[in-house]
Structure 1
Amino acid sequence: MPPPRRLDRRLVLLLALASGAAVANLYFAQPLLDTIADALGTSTGLAGLVVTASQIGYAAGLLLLVPLGDLVERRSLVVRMLLVCAAALALCAAAPAFGVLALGIAVVGVTSVVAQVLVPFAGDLAADDERGTVVGTIMSGLLIGILAARTLSGFVAELAGWRAVYALAAAVMVALALALRRALPVIAARTTTPYRALLRSIGTLVREEPVLRRRMAYGMLGMTSFTLVWTALTFLLSDRPYDYSEGTIGLFGLAGLVGALAAQGAGRLWDRGLGRAATASFWALVLVGWILCDLGAGSLAALIAGLVVLDAGVQGQHITNQSTIYALRPEARSRLTTAYMTGNFCAAAIGSALASALWGVGGWDAISAVGVATALIALALWAWERRAPAAVRPAAVEARKPTAPAAGRPVAARRPSRRG
Structure 2
Amino acid sequence: MSDIHKSYNQTSLTATHAATTAGTAGTAAHHGPSRPLTLLLAGGAGLAVASLYYSQPMLGVLAADIGASDRAIGFVPTLTQLGYALGILLLAPLGDRYDRRSIILIKLVVLMVALLAGGLAPSLALLLGASLVIGLSATLAQDIVPAAATLAHETRRGKVVGTVMTGLLMGILLSRVVSGFVAEHFGWRAMFIAAAMGVALIGIAIWRGLPRFAPTTSLSYAALLASLLDLLRRHRALRHAALAQELLSMGFSAFWSTLAIMLHAAPFHLGSAVAGAFGLAGAAGALAAPLAGHLADRKGPELVTRIGTGITTLSFALLCLSPFFSPVGQLWLLGVGTVAFDMGVQTTLIAHQSIVYGIEPGARSRLNAVLFVSMFIGMAAGAALGSALLAQWGWMAVTGMATLASLAAFGVRYWAAKTRHTRK
Q: TM-score, normalised by structure 2?
A: 0.90
The question of 1:11 aligning with 2:42 is answered: no
Q: Give the 3-state SS of the residue equivalent to 1:373 in structure 2.
A: helix
- Contact 2:30 2:151 survives alignment (8 Å): no
* Among 244, 261, 264, the residue aligned to 1:218: 244
Displacement of 1:264 in angstroms is 1.2
- Relative to structure 1, the CA distance from residue 331 to residue 391 in structure 2 (aligned partners, 3 Å threshold; closer, same or farther) is farther
Q: How big is the shift at 1:324?
A: 0.4
Instruction: Compute the displacement of 1:391 (Å).
Output: 9.2
- Tell me the equivalent position of 1:164: 190
- What CA deviation, in whole Å up to 9, does each residue of 1:219-242 have, x standing for no partner? 101111111111111122112222
Mapped to 2, the partners of 1:99 and 1:275 lie a distance apart of 46
TM-aligned CA deviation for residue 273 of structure 1: 3.5
Question: Does the C-alpha gap of structure 1 residues 7 and 350 become closer, same or farther in structure 2, counting only changes over 3 Å?
Answer: same
The match for 2:404 is 373
Deviations 1:315-334 (Å, cap 9, x if unpaired)?
A: 10011101100000100000
Q: What letter is aligned with 1:385?
A: A
Residue 19 (structure 2) aligns with:
none
Partner of 2:179: 153
The correspondence for 2:285, drawn from 235, 246, 259, is: 259
Partner of 1:388, secondary structure, is helix
Deviation at 1:361, TM superposition (A): 1.1
User: Residue 327 of structure 1 aligns with which residue?
Assistant: 358
**How far 1:6 moved relative to its partner?**
3.2
1:87 matches 2:74: no
In the TM superposition, 1:233-252 aligns within 5 A as 233-252=259-278
Q: How far apart in 1 are the matches of 2:422 and 2:189?
A: 53
**Can you list the C-alpha shifts for 1:213-270, whole angstroms capped at 9, x where unaligned?**
0000011011111111111111221122222122222111111110111211211111
Corresponding position of 2:378: 347
Q: Following TM superposition, by how much is the alpha carbon of 1:51 offset from its aligned partner in structure 2, in angstroms?
A: 1.3
SS of residue paired to 1:112:
helix
Q: Counterpart of 2:320 in 1: which secondary structure?
A: helix
- Contact 2:308/2:343 (<8 A) preserved: yes
Select 2:317's aligned residue among 286, 291, 300. Answer: 291
Q: 1:246 to 1:389 in 2, by over 3 A?
A: closer
- Corresponding residue number in structure 2 for 1:177: 203
Cross-structure match for 1:360: 391
Alignment of 1:13-412 (within 5 A): 13-297=39-323, 298=325, 299-388=330-419
Name the amino acid aligned to 2:238. Answer: L
CA distance in 2, matches of 1:194, 1:390: 37
Shift of 1:307: 0.4
2 CA distance for matches of 1:391 and 1:117? Answer: 35
Q: What displacement does 1:173 show?
A: 1.0
Stretches of structure 2 lacking an aligned partner (at least 5 in a row): 1-28
Query: Quick check: which one's helix share is greater?
Result: 2
Report what 2:15 is aligned to: none
- Structure-2 separation of matches of 1:344 and 1:203: 16
Residue 390 of structure 1: how far off its partner (Å): 6.1
Question: Structure 2: how far apart are the matches of 1:249 and 1:59?
Answer: 25
Instruction: Quote the Cα distance in structure 1 between the aligned partners of 2:84 and 2:348.
Output: 23
1:329 counterpart letter in structure 2 = E
Question: 1:137: Cα distance to partner?
Answer: 0.7
CA distance in structure 1 between the aligned counterparts of 2:299 and 2:222, rounded to whole angstroms: 36
1:381 counterpart letter in structure 2? V
Q: 2: distance between equivalents of 1:110 and 1:346?
A: 17
Gaps of 5+ in 1: 393-416
Q: Once the two structures are superposed, what CA deviation does each residue of 1:163-192 show, in whole Å capped at 9, x if it has no partner? A: 111001111111111110001011221112
Task: Give the aligned length.
Answer: 392
* Percent identical residues: 38
Corresponding letter in the other structure for 1:236? M
Q: Determine the C-alpha separation between the residues in 1 that align with 2:224 and 2:392.
A: 44
Deviation at 1:295, TM superposition (A): 2.9
Structure 1 residues 42 and 280, CA, compared in 2 at 3 Å: closer, same or farther?
same
